Amino acid sequence: MTGRTGLVVAGAGARGAYEAGVLTELLPRLTHTWSAPSILVGTSAGALNVAALAGLTGTDPQDASAELVSRWESVRTDEVIALPSSALEAGAAYAGDLLGLPSWLRRALGLPDRVTRLLDAERLRPVVERVVDWGRLHHAIARGPVDAVGVACTSAGTGGTVVFVERGPGVPLPPYDPGRDIRYVDTRLTADHLLASAAVPVLFAPRRLDDGWYLDGGVRLNTPLKPALRLGADRIGVVATTPAVPVPEGPAPPEHAPDVYAVAALALRIVLGAGVTEDLRTLRAVNELVERGADDRHARIGTWFAGPPADRGAELAALAAEVRRREYGGLRALRNPSLFVLERLVGGGVPDVDSTDGAELLSFLFFDRAFASAAAALGAEHAATAVAPDSAAQDSAAPDAAAPDSAAPGAAAPGAAAPDSAAPGRRAPMSPVGRRGRYS
């Protein structure tokens, strides 16, 4: 098939293991139905996933995604979070703020200068280096199997999105997008770019890159669909941990006012899910105009979404709570003291209080082999329901296809379907036998 296939993976924290599980189903099907993704763009944990996949170039897609799951299973809580030492340092810095101590006195007393983060992101560096094969990534981009890898960050100076791009010679760097305030920067990707993309505000300090300070790309663009299209993707697979469509009805309202944990969980759902929902809806509308002949400026963009169905969006949070109880309940909590403290910091572990919101927050920070394995299995289960486009040729856009200026592109879809091209009830084979393409 002509043209390029893109893969966009959203930010998700420890839920990145779920995304890896989704890819065990989606990646082989994308490769078989369209072509191996060669434009890879992600945010935060999604950036880690696409970089890892680029470093697995040449591997069978099923083997590559299975290896990605294995690498997530290798990550431990204490590799990412050291709550006692981080809390003491942040507390000392905050005490200096409360007391109004000048910088010279803080240095004399051995206190941190300012509160810049609650957790130390530098602990993540060995994890990133272990998960991504950087030499293989650079080689794949230079030689052509991978056309470009983009990592979305948020500029601490402007508040806009900056996509750091390592690209091959056949991929032009997109110009600044004033409509969405997206800037593209040529670079040779390193672990620092992934650490910046994952620098969740308040939890982690912003990272210094090139000309400024950067933090989590999910603040502005958690699911970077438009950058994938601007980099030349003619059709895209999209992986997220939130449903592609809004849930029309929520649970009955509680009797008491929502606590801070409930509000934090709600804010997280909005940041992670609202953007992709709107972007997918926008692209679907453009596709419908193209199909009716009412828009001759754009080509049709095939979109294949894989993530939680609309009626199963809460399952990851429930899974985090279940794994925590099973693996670390009671005295077993001593096996992972950081997790024990972390759960209480996000509002979980109180016997007579609904722990739903605490479990949702925990699912983004639950770096643990047992949770990674269970989350990956759930991701594969959800992705198995993703409806394949009914016509690969129909979903292939012209090489000069461009995203509409108003779009952070995508297409709305019922559940985990490929909305703009799916025939209801029709699915591609889960694992094509005898026709398994190689991942680039």
For every residue of 126-138, DSSP letters joined together read: HHHHHH--HHHHH
Place of tokens 């280096």: 129
- Considering the domain boundaries, does residue 283 fall inside one? yes
**The one-letter amino acid at 128:** V
Widest CA span of the chain, in angstroms? 71
Name the active-site residue from 177, 192, 216, 395: 216
pLDDT reported for residue 234? 93
Q: Please say whether the beta carbons of 197 and 153 come within 8 A.
A: yes
In the residue annotation, 216 being an active-site residue is answered as yes
Name the active-site residue from 38, 44, 396, 421: 44
- Considering the domain boundaries, does residue 406 fall inside one? no
Which stretches of the chain score pLDDT less than 70? 81-99, 101, 106, 109-121, 202, 248-254, 256, 258-261, 272-274, 333-334, 336-356, 388-440
- pTM of the prediction? 0.80
- Give the residue numbers spanning the domain of 348: 5-83+118-385
pLDDT reported for residue 396? 42
Q: Please say whether the beta carbons of 406 and 179 come within 8 A.
A: yes
- Considering the domain boundaries, does residue 293 fall inside one? yes
pLDDT reported for residue 376? 97
- Considering the domain boundaries, does residue 294 fall inside one? yes
pLDDT reported for residue 387? 76
pLDDT reported for residue 16? 94
For residue 311, the tally of other CB atoms under 10 A from its CB is 10
Torsion 48-158-411-275 (CA) sign = positive
- Considering the domain boundaries, does residue 102 fall inside one? no
pLDDT reported for residue 98? 67
For residue 26, the tally of other CB atoms under 10 A from its CB is 30
Distance between first and last Cα of the chain: 13
- Considering the domain boundaries, does residue 109 fall inside one? no
Domain count, the chain: 1
- Considering the domain boundaries, does residue 182 fall inside one? yes
Please name which of 65, 72, 68 lies closest in space to residue 23, comparing C-alpha atoms: 65
Place of tokens 């699912």: 363
Beta strands in 204-315 (DSSP E): 207-209, 212-216, 233-239, 302-306
Q: Which residues, 6+ apart, have CB-to-CB distance to 11 below 8 Å?
A: 42, 43, 44, 45, 46, 47, 197, 198, 216, 217, 218, 222, 223, 272
- Considering the domain boundaries, does residue 367 fall inside one? yes
Q: Enter the DSSP assignment of 170.
A: T
What secondary structure does DSSP assign to 354-422, as a single string?
--HHHHHHHHTT---HHHHHHHHHHHHHHHTTPPPBS-HHHHPPPTT----TT-------STTS-TTTB
